[in-house]
Amino acid sequence: MEIIKSVKKLREITAQARDKGLSIGLVPTMGALHDGHISLVDRARSENDIVVVSVFVNPTQFNNPDDLRTYPRTEEADCRRLADARVDYAFIPTVEEIYPEPDTRVFDLGPVAQVMEGAMRPGHFNGVAQIVSRLFDIVRPHRAYFGEKDFQQIAVIRRMVATEGFDIQIIDCPIKREPDGLALSSRNVRLTPAHRAEAPKIHAILAASVADRATKTVAQVTADVIAAIDASPLMETEYYQIVDPVTLQPVTSWADTPHPVGCVTVWCGDVRLIDNIKY
């Protein structure tokens, strides 16, 4: 595996690969890699000749300076994991390399970006669109891999790809979980032992609510999930919304869409966790 720091060099390498007819898969990450990230890498490895993984904590998508400051950074361990996963190129640029000038682009991300994470984290998805479009422009992959843990993010990226005219296939990959059900996340290392012990309840509560679909309304299930999470003294729900998987708009009846998705954000101590469940 080669570690690349330079935009120019990565551009040259990927252009040459494309000219030779090789397929390129890109996995964008912010590092502190875990098995969830590696599941995306494995999928990319199985479907492409060349696999590029970016490791870049993108400042423009953080609306909370403390979150950016405390975001875990584990570059050496990340490189070992990526080499073990037979990645061809790890792209680990500096902030100056990615943004030699401040990125002032404002993307038209439409209604998918206005609800849930978009409403709670102003500017977050515009920052995501800035970095992902920049990576797409540098690497010009055939396929790019994203995790369903960030369910809304995938919809936003699909919209960005359509409006910017990228010819890139967006591949969504299922959520990887700890054996106790907690969705793997780089932020999990910041949980105290007590909060780490409590956090698996999030998935347990969401999973248990799926059966309630048969007997309760969307509004009842939503209220019950929030009440069950908030019953824990260590957790507080920021939002729980049951939405259409394509438009991300809230559904009011189970009949609104065949595949509703419940999206949750929970404060577990001072760590903000997100998860979702398919109904």
DSSP state of 111: G
Tokens 């098995």 belong to residue: 35
Q: What is the CA radius of gyration of the chain?
A: 19
Task: Output the smallest distance, CB 194 to ligand AMP, in A.
Answer: 22
Among 93, 127, 141, 147, binds ligand AMP (CB under 6 A): 147
For ligand AMP, give the closer residue by CB, 153 or 209: 153
**Do residues 74 and 33 make contact, with C-beta atoms less than 8 angstroms apart?**
yes
Task: Output the smallest distance, CB 12 to ligand AMP, in A.
Answer: 25
Residue 149 interacts with ligand AMP (CB under 6 A): yes or no? yes
Residue 241 interacts with ligand AMP (CB under 6 A): yes or no? no
**Do residues 3 and 78 make contact, with C-beta atoms less than 8 angstroms apart?**
no
**Do residues 259 and 210 make contact, with C-beta atoms less than 8 angstroms apart?**
no
Task: Output the smallest distance, CB 185 to ligand AMP, in A.
Answer: 6
Residue 157 interacts with ligand AMP (CB under 6 A): yes or no? no
Q: Which residue is nearest to ligand AMP (CB)?
A: 147
Task: Output the smallest distance, CB 256 to ligand AMP, in A.
Answer: 25
Cα–Cα–Cα angle for 63, 222, 209, nearest 5°?
Answer: 110
Among 41, 113, 115, 183, binds ligand AMP (CB under 6 A): 183
Among 7, 17, 40, 132, binds ligand AMP (CB under 6 A): 40
Among 4, 7, 30, 138, binds ligand AMP (CB under 6 A): 30
Binding mask 186-215 for ligand AMP (x = CB under 6 A): x-----------------------------
**Per-residue DSSP letters for 57-97?**
--GGG-S-HHHHHHS---HHHHHHHHHHTT-SEEE---HHH
**Per-residue DSSP letters for 159-220?**
HHHHHHT---EEEEEPPPB-TTSPBP-GGGGGS-HHHHHHTHHHHHHHHHHTGGGGTS-HHH
Task: Output the smallest distance, CB 143 to ligand AMP, in A.
Answer: 13
195 is catalytic: no
**Do residues 184 and 34 make contact, with C-beta atoms less than 8 angstroms apart?**
yes
Binding-site ranges for ligand AMP (CB under 6 A): 29-30, 36-37, 39-40, 146-147, 149-150, 173, 175-176, 183-186
User: Which residues have a catalytic role annotated?
Assistant: 37
